[in-house]
Amino acid sequence: MTLAILFSGQGRQHANMFAVTGEAPAASALFCHARTLLGGADPRRLVRDASAEVLHSNRCGQIVCSLQALAAIEILRPNLPAQLVFAGYSVGEVASWGAAGIFENLTTLDLIARRAEIMDAESSPGDGLLFIRGLSHEAIDGLCTAHGGAIAIINPESAYIIGGSRDTLKAVMQHARDLRPLRMVLLPVMVASHTKLMSQAAARFGTVLNTTAAKGPMRSGVRLLSGIDGESVVCVELGLAKLARQTSETVDWAGCVQSCVEAGANCFLELGPGDALSKMVRDAYPDIPSRSVEDFRSLAGLQAWIASQV
């Protein structure tokens, strides 16, 4: 059995996101370290008490969402099968490198915080992301060309995320309404991730990655995918270059999901927060079991489901 593990990006953080992972002893060191990165605020309380503006700010969002992923993988590691495929969505890709054993978990959280700080420094007020479902790739390209936007993420089933300035996204939305998409919504993300507006951030993050000591080679049995093309990481140096470029280049998430299937994945588990990625898999591959950690009310229930698949 090959399990594909999906590392969620930011945007779905919420008050109860640590319900399954927050009190597990295996994750205690991660939560303690995240607290130092969040100015002394316990992340479990922060997600319950913080305003929506704070919770969805870029740095806080990237830290708490990646914390959830890293905590979940540490808790579940004894229950996982020998063959795994790791695919990370946006900042989730950085977390996947830690889970794969290339970086220490605490170092991975430090990298994620630094990535967010760099992106914030290179971002302009009003930059953000727009989700559109139900239009062709050609139509999305046309909208971007007409208004100066860029495709940030290609999702399965004709779903796209466009990045740009506030004025750009407003113009795209106004034009897109005439094309009658199935769904269109501004995302609670404050930077134009995965677009050329983040070119300087990508270069700076690349420098950070290249000066961070790797823990060692990838864990045995793990296939790690690069977000910008869905290809397996076979060389850490080249993979890190792609990981840096991902900050300013389109993420081919549809290609990543397809690569998981082609690698033999017969089950998917999204680490959360949220269940957007597991739903995408169910829509694209309805015959393959796909669940999220948030589908379960307890760790025991989640572990039992994994055991049933294995």
**For every one of its 310 residues, what pLDDT tens digit does the chain have, with 9 covering 90 and above?**
899 999 999 999 999 999 999 999 999 999 999 999 999 999 999 999 999 999 999 999 999 999 999 999 999 999 999 999 999 999 999 999 999 999 999 999 999 999 999 999 999 999 999 999 999 999 999 999 999 999 999 999 999 999 999 999 999 999 999 999 999 999 999 999 999 999 999 999 999 999 998 887 889 999 999 999 999 999 999 999 999 999 999 999 999 999 999 999 999 999 999 999 999 999 999 999 999 999 999 999 999 999 999 7
For residues 294 and 274, give the distance between their C-alpha atoms in angstroms, rounded to a whole number.
6
Q: Are residues 199 and 178 in the same domain?
A: no
Residue type (1 letter), 111: L
CB 5 within 8 A of CB 34: no
* Phi and psi at residue 138, to the nearest 5°: -60, -40
My answer on whether 254 and 199 are in the same domain is: yes
Indicate if 179 and 209 belong to the same structural domain: no
pTM to 2 decimal places: 0.96
How many domains does the structure of the chain reveal? 2
Q: How far is CA 181 from CA 156, 173, 281, in A?
A: 15, 10, 21
Q: Specify the CATH number for the domain of residue 155.
A: 3.30.70.250
Distance CA 152, CA 173 (A): 15
The predicted pLDDT at position 213 comes to 84
Does one domain contain both 102 and 219? yes
Given 155, 186, 217, the domain boundary residue is 186
Tell me the Ramachandran region of residue 48: left when phi exceeds 0, alpha when psi lies from -120 to 50, beta otherwise: alpha
Distance CA 212, CA 164 (A): 30
Question: Which one of 150, 167, 186 terminates a domain?
Answer: 186
Which of 231, 243, 252, 160 has the alpha carbon at shortest distance from 201? 243
- State whether 239 and 153 are in the same domain: no
| Residue where a domain terminates, one of 138, 164, 186 | 186
Q: Are 269 and 7 in contact (CB under 8 A)?
A: no
Same domain (yes/no): 17, 49? yes
Task: Give SS3 for 255.
Answer: helix
Task: Give the per-residue pLDDT at 217.
Answer: 85
pLDDT reported for residue 93: 98
Per the structure, the complete domain to which residue 160 belongs is given by 128-186
102 and 6 together in one domain: yes
- Quick one: 58 and 147 in the same domain? no
- The CATH number linked to 34 is 3.40.366.10
Q: For residue 164, give the nearest of 123, 125, 118, 129 by alpha carbon.
A: 129
168 and 91 belong to one structural domain:
no
Same domain, 232 and 87: yes
Residues 181 and 203 in one domain: no
The tokens for 188 are: 């609670």
Do both 71 and 164 map to the same domain? no
Integer CA distances (angstroms), 160 to 144, 152, 249, in order: 11, 8, 14
